[in-house]
Amino acid sequence: MTDAFKNPLAALAALFPQGTFSSLHVRNYRLYYLGQIISTSGTFMQTVAQAWLVLSLTHSGKALGLATALQYLPILLLGPYGGVVTDRIPKRKILFYTQSISGVLALVLGTLVATGLVRVWMVYVLASCLGLVNVFDNPTRQTFHIELVGPEHVRNAVTLYSILVNLARIIGPAIAGILIASVGLAPCFIINGISFAAVVGMLAMMNPGELLTSPPVPPRKGQIREGFRYVANSPVLGCSLLMMAIIGTLTFEFQVSLPLIAHFTFKGDARSYAFLTSSMGLGAACGGVFFASRKGITPYKLVSASLLFGLAVLAAAFMPTLLLSGLAMVAVGVCSINFSSLGNSTLQLGSSAQMRGRVMSLWSVAFLGSTTIGGPVVGWFAEVAGARWGLALGGLAALAAAALGAVLLRKPQTGTAGG
């Protein structure tokens, strides 16, 4: 199976800049990548289905924002501890547990929907449980890339993984839209639960001897505070995380803003939401192929990426038709992968091996945990000012983050972020 995956890759690679698919020549990374393609597509199926389920049960933007917030509240509260665990325990072992539990939670929700027993409070509880799993899963997946491919290929691995996520953003919602319209919501959750078996299977097939593991950090008091001090003492790491916190809180709330625009602005259904989400995924996938061979990373590239991201989101917010909004979301996707892959790579390359888990856990707090605040804010703002302004708020936040980054990094810096 892996050889079949590798040979078409060699032919395809000739069509793109040299190094675009360099990480996929590593067997362990190919296995991980293949499993994630299947599982992440299922995850986006569930994202669409869960948003539509909450809207169907409540018809409330605030309720949708609350469901999203509860899913990320554990990351906000416990994210730094998740980073400490990531630095202490072998990452492959953590992923065996977190991916398995995530699958079980999806199957439980699917069963509740299929039997007609589901209530909105049950969605809230299961979303919170999934968030608790992600406290440990997210920083582990982020830092696992460098163990799979090494520091020389980590930028490429992060970008290719972002392409995978955004291809899944196309595949998952498209399938979800069809399933919801034809057979209902339950299959989206059940298929997602089954899809996690692909990741667990690929983890089992890996060769542990080929992983570039770092020695586990021995447990001791003060390791969370140590992580905060480490980031605070690095202007590049601190500024990158601050920009991500602003953008993560208000810009990356597409799971709240897009279903509201689809439902209230364009009077559409789940397929309309899936179209907007898939359009963004298409743009991110295309942008990821372009950015995968990028070599130099500087802090000022992150500032310019934030600026372009904000302008693209504002354009999408005020397009007059669903079709034009979808086209603008393609540009949003390109800009989003540019910003997120730059920020992720900057942090991983700028962190020591012994601190990387804690640094990336703060990235998870800024990127995902901030949704606990941003989800309800965007949902409330969309109800008060209109669905378009819920999305536009994110565009303005990205512009503000770019301005802040330009001020904090006003002294020109050259070379790759590293240390």
CA distance 101 to 132: 10
Biggest CA-to-CA distance, the chain: 60
What are the boundaries of each domain within the chain?
A: 2-204+219-408
Distances 100 to 82, 133, 199, 289, 409 between C-alpha atoms, Å: 17, 10, 9, 30, 42
What pLDDT was estimated at residue 151?
79
What pLDDT was estimated at residue 9?
47
pLDDT per residue as tens digits for the range 267-317: 888 788 888 988 988 888 788 777 766 666 677 788 999 999 999 999 999
CA distance 394 to 199: 33
Contacts of residue 316, defined as CB under 8 A and 6 or more positions apart, other chains included, come to 325, 328, 329, 331, 332, 391, 395
Using CB atoms within 10 Å of the CB of residue 145, give its burial: 0 to 12 exposed, 13 to 18 middle, 19+ buried. buried
Instruction: Find, among 179, 85, 98, 87, the residue nearest to 131 by Cα.
Output: 98
What pLDDT was estimated at residue 410?
75
Give CA angle at 295 (308, 154), nearest 5°. Answer: 100
What backbone phi and psi angles, to 5 degrees, belong to 238? Answer: -65, -45
pLDDT per residue as tens digits for the range 41-74: 899 899 889 988 998 898 887 788 788 788 888 9
Q: Considering the domain 2-204+219-408 in this protein, what is its CATH number?
A: 1.20.1250.20
pTM of the model: 0.73
Q: What one-letter code names the amino acid at 258?
A: L
DSSP conformation class of 415:
S
| Average per-residue pLDDT for the chain | 85
213: number of Cβ within 10 Å: 14
Evaluate if residue 8 carries a pLDDT over 80. no
CA distance 78 to 58: 29
